Amino acid sequence: MNRNNQYQDRDWLYQQYVVELRSTLSIASECNAPTTAVRNALIQHGIPRRDGKEAQVYRIRKLPRVLLLRLIAQGLSAPQIAAETGLSYNTVRVRMTEEGLQSKGKCDRG
């Protein structure tokens, strides 16, 4: 199965989404597919989707407060933190909001 279609493989998708706690956005980006296609594959394969609370736990586990504070102290912007951690920009921004933090005025995407 080529890289663009790997989200259709149940075992691969389960490993990425459940075991590695990757988001549907992250999986879709890697596979060059729409997030709806990944979500539909989860449903088709009977892989339970995370609810809002579980997604928050995922974000905290992937980007704990201590790490977030350290990266901000290094002067990294939200896009730089996303690149450094392999998380999406949106995940970083949500985590920063959850923690009431800013990245020293460098939060713009540019």
Mean pLDDT of 4-20: 91
Q: Across the chain, what does the average pLDDT equal?
A: 85
Alpha-helical runs (H) found in 5-108: 10-14, 24-31, 35-44, 52-62, 65-73, 78-85, 89-99
3-state DSSP assignment of residue 35:
helix
Measured CA angle at 25 (ends 14, 51), to 5 deg: 65
The confidence band for 83, taking pLDDT boundaries of 50, 70 and 90, is: confident
**What pLDDT score does 104 carry?**
59
**What pLDDT score does 82 carry?**
86
Q: pLDDT digits over 51-73, tens only?
A: 877 777 777 777 888 999 999 99
